[in-house]
Amino acid sequence: MGFRPFVFRLAHSLNLKGLVDNRTNCVRISIEGHAQKLSEFLKLLVFSAPPASQIKSVEINSCKPIGYKDFRIAPSTDGGQFVTEISPDIAVCSDCLADLQNDPARIDYPLVNCTNCGPRFTIITDLPYDRHNTSMRDFGMCEKCEKEYNNVFDRRFHAQPVACNHCGPNYVYEENGRRITKIGEILSAVARRINEGGAVAVKGQGGYHLICDALNTRAVESLRMKKHRDAKPFAVMFSNIETLLQYCFADNSELEELTSWRRPIVILRQKSDLPRAVNSGLGTVGAILPYMPLHYMLFRCLETPAIVFTSGNLSEEPVIKDDDKARKLLLPITGALLLYNREIVNRADDSVVKFIAGKPRLIRRSRGYVPAPVDLEFNVEGIFALGAEQKNCFCIGRENQAIMSQHIGDLKNLSAYEFLREAVDRFCRMFRFKPEIIASDMHPDYLSTVYAEMLHQQLGIPLIKVQHHHAHIASCLAENHINDKVIGVAFDGTGFGTDEKIWGGEFFIASLLEFERYTHFDYIPLPGGDKVIDEPWRTAFSYIYRYFGEKFDYSSIKGLKNIGVDQLLVVREMISREINSPLSSAAGRLFDAVSALIGLCSVSSFESEAPIRLEAVISEPEDGYYPFEVADTVSFRETIKSIIEESATGKMSYISAKFHNTIAMSSLKVSEKIRNERSINKVVLSGGVFQNKYLLEKTMRLLAGAGFEVYANKAVPANDGGIALGQLAVASKKREICV
């Protein structure tokens, strides 16, 4: 963060003497001088700190004067087992962008950086954060860079990745067996390829990206086909704010997030049309602004002001970070590769943020956020939480901090599982972490659970299994520092329940320690098991069959008209004979069913397409809702009946809004019932379904209007990417009662 140089310059400006050193457990400042100057120093230390720094606490101790002659920065020392935080990567600063044109040694140097910006987490191998512990260890500094590195008044003082055209890593462009090494020629070659409708695989901070002209339909369709990504929306990098605002709506908070040093992808409403191939007509855009010097340099040469900016990987695999693997797997997709000769140590996807109820909610927590910890109000030292199967992130506990990993991915994929194990080893080494307790999901077949059980046997330490939806609620409790019993509403697509059925439409009375399942959505058979995720029509059929039986006129259902009669009969037999038709209470499956019922999405081409399209079709908010029943379970029989009746009108926006309102209203009614019985007034909303902006905002408004205190995830994803934090918190509380 450039904190030590900041301390030095501050002390020097006030004529104070002493030293500052960076330890693995803190930054330590020994300082002496006039009392008034010391008081001013302490004030400015907090209020003038570098923008990307975050001072968690300041401990002040008095000691006898040593008689320092000056103020200096001492070498880093290893403070033992406790560690300071590792900075996430920081977007290039305005000063470094100016250097691209003004600094003779850095004119058009695409990896320019300083103490205030550049790679951090993605290049570090160990602590303390010094050059020899990064992938810059192989690059000796030239005379100019070394002078800046050692000049405490220079903004590159102790900037570990400091480099220039004379001594640093450089880009190489590869196409058709040809290699270009001069940056001017590289930029021209890349621009020519993109301008002509081609694609390029580009090495970024945390891994490779695939880029093409986002305004060229044929280019986008070609990239989509070669990457085997049928319809999942692509992120788009815009050249600047002005261009972004031509295509997207963005308020001041969203603009602030887009331009922050973290530079995440922000989900925005679309204003002007992009090719349908970019976002499959969903009406939203995953927008991002340049954050590496190279991005700015490319846009100077490109004809297009917007490029597709998607992870460089094969479908469902982790983002590729290794050059040889990129040549093998990405070069056949794009035909061209742009890479640099510095190793990416820790891969990190672009983070994704969505503003809901006026606050940024993380959808994917990775570059720019990891490995910054989540501060807690209880001790989690030594607890290792493995997370879930999908959107996997793991979490380690150090004192009162939860250090979450970058986005790992779906562990059903072997590459993602290998990435998990690689990242675990690195986190344990970097953060001096030794597991004392393991926490995992209850699902016996999740690879994260299998890995946890293996470590449990190998290390001989306790393993605590945490119910999936309890972990969702606990993640929100932990990040919001709530220790009370709450009403927990957990809506998502799956999760292993204590009755060995699939949960996901749950109402709990919960604390960090334990939960009681108060009620849940009706159980519905899922004919074909996981196949219903790809074919939502199966769940639609199951809901109708569950509520209205086999005599119902299925031919009247819009979303079933293109399904063969033979297929419908097979599914009916599966349900009636209980063949591969596990019971599920999942809210996500109900959204799938309604999307299929009204003809929006009967067969999915990407994850969660059915509920995403169901939300996207809402053009105007509605106040009405469909009938439902809260008894032993929450039944949507009358909801489904009403939707079927109204689907003939073709008013999809109206139907979808009313359905969303119905789910929000069911949350209110059950919460009121619990409050009347148990006098609990705090409601926690978590689970992947609450990534739905319309649903979360409607639910929060209804609950707040009824006098409830309402909480939802912000610092970690509401989806399974936040599960590990909940597991960590539950394990901590269970350990407390055992001590």
Q: Whole-angstrom Cα distance, residue 368 to residue 257? A: 12
Q: How confident is the model at residue 601 (pLDDT cuts 50, 70, 90)?
A: very high
Q: Whole-angstrom Cα distance, residue 199 to residue 223? A: 7
Which of 77-81, 480-484, 595-599 bottoms out in mean pLDDT, i.e. has the lowest? 77-81
**pTM of the entire structure?**
0.94
Domains and CATH numbers, the chain: 3-73 (3.30.70.100), 171-340 (3.90.870.10), 365-484+718-738 (3.30.420.360), 524-660 (1.10.357.160)
Say which amino acid occupies 86. Answer: I
pLDDT of residue 589: 98
Query: What does the DSSP 8-state code read for residue 496?
Result: B
Backbone phi, psi, residue 548, to 5°: -125, -5
In what helix (H) or strand (E) does residue 656 lie, and over which residues does it extend?
Answer: helix 652-678
Other CB atoms within 10 Å distance of the CB of residue 365: 28
pLDDT of residue 592: 98
Q: Whole-angstrom Cα distance, residue 721 to residue 713? A: 11
Interstrand relation of 248-249 and 265-270 (parallel, antiparallel or unpaired): antiparallel
524-568 tens-digit pLDDT: 999 999 999 999 999 999 999 999 998 888 888 888 988 989 999
- Tell me the percentage of the chain whose pLDDT exceeds 90: 83
Would you state the structure tokens that stand for residue 244, as one six-digit string? Answer: 């972004």
Q: How confident is the model at residue 77 (pLDDT cuts 50, 70, 90)?
A: low
Q: How confident is the model at residue 24 (pLDDT cuts 50, 70, 90)?
A: low
SS3 294: helix
Q: What is the dihedral of CA 626, 630, 633, 636, to 10 degrees?
A: -10
Looking at per-residue pLDDT, the higher value among 739 and 257 belongs to: 257
pLDDT of residue 81: 53
Other CB atoms within 10 Å distance of the CB of residue 240: 12
Checking if the pLDDT of 80 tops 80, the result is no
| Edge-to-edge strand list for the sheet holding 515-520 | 515-520, 505-510, 486-491, 682-686, 709-712
pLDDT of residue 621: 86
Backbone phi, psi, residue 367, to 5°: -55, 135
In what helix (H) or strand (E) does residue 257 lie, and over which residues does it extend?
Answer: helix 252-258
Query: What does the DSSP 8-state code read for residue 405?
Result: P
178-220 tens-digit pLDDT: 999 999 999 999 999 999 999 999 999 999 999 999 999 999 9
Q: How confident is the model at residue 314 (pLDDT cuts 50, 70, 90)?
A: confident
354-400 tens-digit pLDDT: 999 999 999 999 999 999 999 999 999 999 999 999 999 999 999 99
Q: 254, 92, 262: which is closest to 161 by C-alpha?
A: 92
Question: Rounded to the nearest 10 degrees, what angle do helices 536-548 and 637-647 cross at?
Answer: 110
pLDDT of residue 158: 86
pLDDT of residue 181: 97
In what helix (H) or strand (E) does residue 72 lie, and over which residues does it extend?
Answer: strand 71-73
Looking at per-residue pLDDT, the higher value among 170 and 52 belongs to: 170
**Residue-averaged pLDDT of the chain:** 94
101-130 tens-digit pLDDT: 999 999 999 999 999 999 999 999 998 888
Interstrand relation of 235-238 and 208-213 (parallel, antiparallel or unpaired): unpaired
